[in-house]
């Protein structure tokens, strides 16, 4: 093996991927963590050994300090050894094409021929409206207008702390095509409990196949949503157009163009 | 003091006058009404505490008993006073007998109002002695161990377990925090009772209970003595039990309480009549006890746009100020809220933030302005988030804000880890120290971006307040002018707990709490 190579290694082996620092396969990762041990040289050594156990070679404790008595904070760099076969990765994604706001409105007009009705809320204990507002409220979020600004869409925003029962009752009252459930608080997995309750109630009410059930929030992925029995899930970086693109194509797929009333579906 | 932003004092006084008229108009409504939570506050202040055998707080049991008997308009003060006269028992014993079904307060013979009021005096005296002792204790601490300089570094703990909160809070104090806020468990704002006892289970926060207040107060006094700085305790006098929690805060020496005349209506969908009546009772308590209230204008900017809706924040600050004046709260206790929530991609956005913060400081020169960090545009990119917080810290020290809700780099990811709090405080301290007198050194360019922006926002706030005055606060809220949120007069939670005061009604505490300099 030559000591000096004149070219960079540029060919990534996608079957054995590891982190990139400034050279391929150097495995560089940075960690920030706290150990419940008193500040001192033993703490530094403890962090190094811990990083090794995590699979990092040559751990370097770049910085450490006392947070409070008995707790030490670390910034650690190291070279990760584990690799992943990128070619075998499968991520479930929301199907269908994503159209923008104006295109969605036109598409619904042409393909559905009636307004699409959605009802949304942040359910149960969750007092945060930021998620549901981002999707439904006229002004939307980050330059992406909300569903209230879409043509051929009627959207009801029930706000926060809405009991599942009330959300379902509203969906029945207005013959919603879809329900949007938002969950922002995730401490102790409360969002899972709330979302599960909603899915179970929909099932119990016999509505599971009659209304499209979607959820969204900062810690929600499409995969998680599907595991919980939802038709789709929308996480960070998804806006009103993503949600409506899915819903309108699903309405068409299910042949609900003329089925305005839930009872007919 | 000359305005660095060249604000027209005539516009400021016009806006303030409109707000005063709005608050006076509302006060007439408030004075004619009471609520279940206001009555429960009276019951608590008369010394009733504890729960019945199924964990219903006794103040609820007693007030529900009045409500069910149709006696709410007469009020708890008269009926308890009368019961003391008729039975010779204490308020606590009376509540216990009501809970046991042994006593019906509405079936007793009745005495004149003055006699009932007289019978309450020993209980009232005992309560005021307790509150006054807490005020004296705070004063003693401030005179002996002292306090950190403004801006006070304010951090939250939110583990759900009060004992875990204590560890986090003491750690934060050692790292430099001046104020510890124990975030409430999600949804407590909508409970129409205050849970009892120490609690170890909560989501996104910890139950506000009187026992939890006591536990945290003790822990902060201990760590305050250790670090040589009085550590202030903050909780929430908001939601359905706004005045009850203020009373508990008075008894357990809280120093800062979230308390807004309008917030609960807009963001928790609590009925507007209920909230306005409740906020008055809570604020007279807060005023007397030397507690700093924090209003919630910052929240408008999480639902509305921080650039377009900036004037609604200013307008609401004027309204909150004038409601506070009516409750006899000193300016130094007015923690009027605002926030650094503009889209970070805005060109010269920092200049607009600076203008807004400086304007708030000039309009409310003595207020303990509460400045909230970026939340809406925090993305999970902790590195950028740390920088956003740094700009926020710079605006804070530059414009002499009083209470710094310390921005966390992990906002939008999780409730703060111990290390997040450390990094956030380090960030703030670095900038405060490095730029300590920047506000005294720098001036704003005549007719430049900052001056023009502030003048424009102030003018719009004045116009909005003129409109609200004409329209009335209730119907303004119905139209969705604050925070872009519409709430109906007869909608929302808790309306069933509001009634007009009847014959014989009296609330002995309002005047007593308002009686201070």
Query: Tens digit of pLDDT for each residue in A52-61?
Result: 999 999 999 9
> Phi and psi (nearest 5°) for B473?
-65, -40
Nearest CA distance, A124 vs chain B (angstrom): 8
Q: How many residues are there in chain A?
A: 265
pLDDT at position B169 is 95
Asked if B304 and A139 come within 8 Å (Cβ–Cβ), the reply is yes
Q: Which chain A residue lies closest to B484 (C-alpha atoms)?
A: A137
pLDDT at position A129 is 80
Q: Which chain A residue lies closest to B191 (C-alpha atoms)?
A: A125
Task: List strand residue ranges (DSSP E) for B138-295, in order.
Answer: 152-157, 179-182, 232-236, 256-258, 292-294
β-pairing, A232-234 vs B33-35, is: unpaired
Asked if B302 and A185 come within 8 Å (Cβ–Cβ), the reply is no
pLDDT at B509 over 70: yes
Q: Which of the four pLDDT bands, split at 50, 70 and 90, describes residue A9? A: low
A126 part of contact set with chain B, CB < 8 Å:
yes
Structure pTM?
Answer: 0.86
pLDDT at position B267 is 79
β-pairing, B292-294 vs B256-258, is: parallel
Asked if A73 and B190 come within 8 Å (Cβ–Cβ), the reply is no
Bridge partners of A66? A72
Task: List CB contacts (< 8 A) between B412 and chain A.
Answer: 218
pLDDT at position A8 is 66
Rounded CA gap, A59 and A45, in Å? 10
Bridge partners of B156? B181
Rounded to a whole number of angstroms, the distance between the first and last alpha carbons of chain A is 70
Q: Radius of gyration of chain B from Cα atoms?
A: 23
Rounded CA gap, A101 and A171, in Å? 23
For the ranges A3-17, B7-21, B191-205, B378-392, the lowest mean pLDDT is seen at A3-17
Q: Percent of chain A having pLDDT more than 70?
A: 97
Q: Which of the four pLDDT bands, split at 50, 70 and 90, describes residue A187? A: confident
Residue B53: C-alpha distances to residues B61, B99, B198 (Å)? 11, 9, 17
Task: List CB contacts (< 8 A) between B386 and chain A.
Answer: none
Peptide bond before B151: cis, by omega within 30 degrees of 0?
yes
pLDDT at position A113 is 95
Rounded CA gap, B50 and A202, in Å? 40
Burial of A32 (0-12, 13-18, 19+ CB in 10 A): middle
Rounded CA gap, B317 and B335, in Å? 10
B380 part of contact set with chain A, CB < 8 Å:
yes
Rounded CA gap, B150 and B424, in Å? 16
B430 part of contact set with chain A, CB < 8 Å:
no
Nearest to B411 by CA among B74, B158, B93, B129: B158
For the ranges B83-87, B182-186, B255-259, B320-324, the lowest mean pLDDT is seen at B182-186
Rounded CA gap, B135 and B257, in Å? 15
Catalytic residue among A16, A52, A93, A139: A139
pLDDT at B189 over 90: no
For Cα atoms B237, B242, B246, give the angle at the middle one, nearest 5 degrees: 55
**Smallest Cβ distance to B174: which of A65, A68, A190?**
A68
Mean pLDDT of the A191-196 span: 94
Q: Are A30 and A77 spatial neighbours (Cβ–Cβ below 8 Å)?
A: yes
pLDDT at position A138 is 78
**Smallest Cβ distance to A73: which of B379, B419, B484?**
B419
Rounded CA gap, B382 and B118, in Å? 61
Q: How many residues are there in chain B?
A: 517
Kindly report, residue by residue over B23-81, the tens digit of the pLDDT: 999 999 999 999 999 999 999 999 999 999 999 999 999 999 999 999 999 999 999 99
pLDDT at position B481 is 81
Three-state SS at B445: coil
Nearest CA distance, B387 vs chain A (angstrom): 17
Average pLDDT, chain B: 95
Rounded CA gap, B108 and B110, in Å? 6
pLDDT at position A1 is 46
pLDDT at position A5 is 56
List of residues 6+ apart from B450 with CB closer than 8 A: B5, B351, B352, B354, B355, B358, B444
Rounded to a whole number of angstroms, the distance between the first and last alpha carbons of chain B is 25
Q: Which chain B residue lies closest to A35 (C-alpha atoms)?
A: B419
What is the CB neighbour count within 10 angstroms for residue B358?
25
How far does CA B36 lie from the centroid of its chain?
19
For the ranges A74-88, B264-278, B393-407, the lowest mean pLDDT is seen at B264-278
Locate B410 and state its tokens: 């992990």
Residue A188: C-alpha distances to residues A225, B13, B285 (Å)? 17, 49, 36
Kindly report, residue by residue over B415-463, the tens digit of the pLDDT: 888 899 999 999 999 999 999 999 999 999 999 999 999 999 999 999 9
pLDDT at B324 over 70: yes
pLDDT at position A6 is 62
pLDDT at position B346 is 96
Mean pLDDT of the A168-196 span: 92
How far does CA B169 lie from the centroid of its chain?
20
Mean pLDDT of the A218-234 span: 93
Mean pLDDT of the B479-507 span: 89
Q: Is the ipTM of this complex over 0.90?
A: no
B144 part of contact set with chain A, CB < 8 Å:
no
Q: Percent of chain B having pLDDT more than 70?
A: 100
pLDDT at position B76 is 98
Residue B455: C-alpha distances to residues A229, B12, B468 (Å)? 53, 10, 20
B171 part of contact set with chain A, CB < 8 Å:
yes
Q: Are B335 and B291 spatial neighbours (Cβ–Cβ below 8 Å)?
A: no
Catalytic residue among B230, B255, B260, B370: B370
Bridge partners of B381? none
Q: Which chain B residue lies closest to A219 (C-alpha atoms)?
A: B413
Q: Which of the four pLDDT bands, split at 50, 70 and 90, describes residue A7? A: low
Task: List CB contacts (< 8 A) between A69 and chain B.
Answer: 174
H helices of A112-189, in order, are 130-136, 164-173
Nearest to A111 by CA among A234, A253, A231: A253
B501 part of contact set with chain A, CB < 8 Å:
no
Q: Are B144 and B184 spatial neighbours (Cβ–Cβ below 8 Å)?
A: no
Q: Which chain A residue lies closest to B416 (C-alpha atoms)?
A: A187
Active site residue A139: yes
Helix (H) or strand (E) holding B360: helix B349-363
List of residues 6+ apart from B442 with CB closer than 8 A: B398
Mean pLDDT of the A244-263 span: 95
Residue B473: C-alpha distances to residues B75, B291, B324, B493 (Å)? 27, 26, 16, 18
Nearest to B164 by CA among B147, B186, B183: B183
Tell me which range, A178-192, A214-228, B5-19, B154-168, is most confidently predicted by mean pLDDT. B5-19
Q: Which of the four pLDDT bands, split at 50, 70 and 90, describes residue B304? A: confident
Task: List CB contacts (< 8 A) between A127 and chain B.
Answer: 186-187, 189, 267-268
Residue A218: C-alpha distances to residues A159, A191, A246, B224, B415 (Å)? 17, 11, 19, 37, 13
**Smallest Cβ distance to B187: which of A125, A133, A187?**
A125
B488 part of contact set with chain A, CB < 8 Å:
no
pLDDT at B517 over 80: no
Mean pLDDT of the A87-111 span: 92
């Amino acid at each position: 093996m030559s000591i000096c190579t004149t070219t960079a290694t540029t060919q990534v082996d996608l079957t054995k991927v590891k982190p990139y620092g400034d050279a391929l396969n150097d495995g560089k990762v940075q960690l920030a963590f706290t150990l419940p041990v008193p500040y001192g040289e033993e703490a530094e050594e403890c962090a190094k050994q811990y990083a090794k156990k995590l699979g990092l070679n040559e751990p370097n404790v770049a910085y450490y300090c006392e947070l409070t008595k008995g707790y030490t904070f670390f910034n650690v760099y190291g070279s990760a050894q584990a690799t992943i076969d990128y070619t075998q990765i499968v991520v479930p994604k929301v199907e269908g094409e994503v159209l923008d706001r104006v295109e969605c409105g036109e598409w619904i007009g042409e393909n559905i021929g009636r307004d699409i009705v959605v009802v949304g809320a942040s359910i149960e204990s969750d007092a945060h409206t930021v998620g549901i507002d981002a999707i439904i409220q006229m002004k939307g979020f980050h330059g992406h207008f909300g569903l209230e600004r879409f043509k051929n869409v009627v959207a009801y925003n029930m706000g926060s702390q809405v009991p599942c029962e009330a959300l379902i009752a509203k969906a029945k009252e207005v013959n919603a095509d879809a329900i949007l459930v938002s969950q922002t608080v995730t401490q102790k997995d409360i969002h899972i409990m709330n979302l599960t309750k909603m899915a179970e109630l929909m099932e119990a009410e016999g509505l599971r196949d009659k209304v499209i059930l979607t959820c969204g929030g900062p810690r929600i992925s499409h995969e998680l949503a599907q595991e919980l029995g939802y038709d789709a899930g929308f996480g960070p970086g998804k806006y009103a157009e993503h949600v409506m693109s899915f819903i309108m194509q699903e309405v068409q797929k299910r042949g609900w163009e003329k089925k305005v009333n839930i009872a007919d579906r | 003091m000359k305005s660095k932003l060249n604000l027209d004092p005539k516009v400021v006084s016009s806006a303030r006058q409109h707000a005063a008229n709005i608050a006076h108009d509302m006060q007439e409504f408030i004075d004619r009404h009471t609520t279940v939570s206001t009555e429960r506050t009276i019951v608590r202040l008369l010394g009733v505490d504890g729960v019945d055998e199924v964990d219903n707080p006794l103040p609820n049991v007693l007030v529900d008993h009045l409500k069910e008997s149709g006696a709410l308009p007469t009020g708890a003060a008269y009926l308890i006073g009368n019961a003391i006269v008729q039975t010779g028992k204490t308020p606590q014993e009376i509540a216990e007998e009501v809970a046991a079904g042994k006593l019906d307060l509405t079936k007793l013979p009745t005495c004149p109002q003055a006699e009932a009021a007289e019978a309450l005096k020993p209980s009232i005296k005992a309560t005021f002695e307790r509150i006054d002792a807490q005020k004296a204790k705070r004063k003693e601490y401030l005179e002996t161990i002292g306090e950190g300089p403004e801006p006070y570094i304010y951090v939250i703990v939110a583990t759900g377990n009060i004992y875990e909160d204590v560890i986090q809070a003491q750690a934060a104090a050692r790292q430099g925090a001046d104020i510890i806020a124990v975030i409430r468990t999600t949804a407590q704002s909508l409970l129409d009772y205050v849970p009892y006892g120490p609690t170890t289970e909560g989501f996104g926060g910890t139950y506000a209970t009187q026992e939890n207040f006591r536990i945290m107060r003790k822990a902060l006094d201990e760590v305050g003595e250790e670090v040589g700085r009085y550590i202030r305790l903050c909780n929430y006098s908001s939601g359905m039990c706004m005045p009850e929690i203020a009373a508990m805060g008075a008894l357990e020496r809280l120093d800062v309480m979230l308390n807004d005349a309008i917030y609960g209506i807009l963001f928790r969908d609590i009925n507007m009549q209920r909230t306005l009546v409740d906020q008055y009772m809570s604020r007279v308590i807060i005023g007397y006890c030397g507690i700093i209230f924090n209003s919630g204008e910052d929240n408008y900017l999480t639902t509305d746009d921080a650039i377009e809706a900036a004037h609604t924040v200013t307008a609401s600050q004027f309204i909150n100020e004038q409601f506070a004046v009516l409750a006899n709260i000193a300016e130094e206790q007015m923690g009027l809220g605002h926030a650094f929530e503009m889209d970070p991609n805005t060109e010269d956005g920092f200049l607009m933030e600076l203008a807004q913060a400086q304007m708030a400081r000039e309009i409310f020169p003595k207020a303990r302005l509460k400045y909230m960090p970026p939340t809406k545009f925090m993305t999970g990119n902790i590195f950028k988030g740390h920088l956003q917080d740094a700009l926020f810290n710079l605006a804070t020290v530059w414009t002499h804000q009083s209470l710094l809700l310390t921005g966390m780099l992990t906002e939008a990811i999780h409730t703060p880890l111990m290390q997040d709090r450390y990094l956030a405080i380090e960030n703030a301290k670095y900038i405060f120290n490095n730029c300590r007198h920047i506000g005294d050194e720098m001036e704003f360019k005549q007719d430049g971006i900052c001056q023009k922006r502030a003048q424009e926002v102030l003018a719009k706030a004045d116009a909005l307040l003129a409109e609200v005055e004409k329209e009335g606060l209730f119907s303004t809220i119905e139209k969705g002018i604050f925070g872009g949120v519409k709430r109906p007069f007869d909608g929302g939670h808790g309306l069933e707990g509001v009634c007009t005061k009847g014959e014989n009604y009296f609330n002995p505490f309002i005047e007593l709490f308002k009686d201070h300099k």
